[in-house]
Amino acid sequence: MSRMTIAVASDHAGFDLKTTLAGDMKEAGYTVLDLGTNSRDSVDYPDFANAVAKALKDGKAERGVLVCGTGIGIAMAANRHPGVRAAVVHDGTGARLTRQHNDANVVCFGGRLIGSEVARDCLKIFLETPFEGGRHVRRVDKLSQPV
Ligand code: RB5
């Protein structure tokens, strides 16, 4: 089966979880584009959100996975980019609904907040759940409109 290419990145606080999730995705047959960081040395999370957003914009990946300490800062940074719909996810229901209703293309986790087993389940759901379309198309389109 042909699988998506997923761009992944984290800051230092998300490095361990990012490594775990990248391994899972490779094992599941996804092509993983790992854009760093590559250690627990302190870095700035916006730089890594920007790298994943660029990979999506350039067509190098179809989805993104971002991890920082809370998932919040890196999601804020990613959502500054047109075309990025980044969601902080804490549970399977959120992972499913942000795909079905928001057509989220980037999932963000808090490496200091979420258990790794929960994050692994959430990621699987996020990657396997399609957008529902229908009434949600109009709403998602509004996310791309200038404010
Ligand atoms: C880094 O200490 C931390 O601030 C960062 O990982 C993230 O949680 C920011 O939102």
Q: Rounded to an integer, what distance in angstroms lies between the CA atom of residue 64 and that of residue 135?
A: 24
Quick one: pLDDT at residue 84?
Answer: 98
Is 12 annotated as catalytic?
no
Distance in Å, CA 84 to ligand 1 centroid: 20
Mean pLDDT of 27-43: 98
Tens-digit pLDDT profile for residues 85-133? 999 999 999 999 999 999 999 999 999 999 999 999 999 999 999 999 9
pLDDT tens, position by position, 126-145: 999 999 999 999 999 999 99
Q: What pLDDT score was predicted for residue 135?
A: 98
Mean pLDDT of the chain: 97
To test the pocket of ligand 1, the residue of 40, 74, 108 to mutate (highest count of ligand atoms within 8 Å of its CB) is 74
What is the DSSP pairing of strand 31-34 with strand 63-68?
unpaired
Which residue's C-alpha comes closest to atom 9 of ligand 1? 73
Q: Which helix (H) or strand (E) holds 127?
A: helix 116-128
- Is the predicted pLDDT of residue 75 greater than 80, yes or no? yes
Q: Whose CA is nearest to atom 5 of ligand 1?
A: 69
Q: Which helix (H) or strand (E) holds 119?
A: helix 116-128
Note whether 125 and 89 are within 8 A (CB).
no
- Per-residue confidence band for 3, with pLDDT thresholds at 50, 70 and 90: confident
Q: Find the 26 Cα to ligand 1 centroid distance in Å.
A: 26
Angle at 12 between CA 111 and CA 41, to 5 degrees: 150
So what's the pLDDT on residue 52? 99
Q: What pLDDT does residue 112 have?
A: 98
Has 122 been annotated as catalytic? no
Give the span between the Cα atoms of 120 and 88, in whole angstroms: 14
Q: How far is Cα 3 from Cα 106, in angstroms, rounded to an integer?
A: 16
Q: What is the CATH number of domain 5-143?
A: 3.40.1400.10
Q: What is the pTM of this model?
A: 0.98
Residue 138 dihedral angles phi and psi, to the nearest 5°:
-60, -40
The span from the CA of 8 to the CA of 37, in Å, is 10
Ligand 1: centre distance to CA 12 (Å): 8
Task: Answer yes or no: is the C-beta of 73 below 6 A from any ligand 1 atom.
Answer: yes
Q: Which of 12, 68, 108, 122 is catalytic?
A: 68
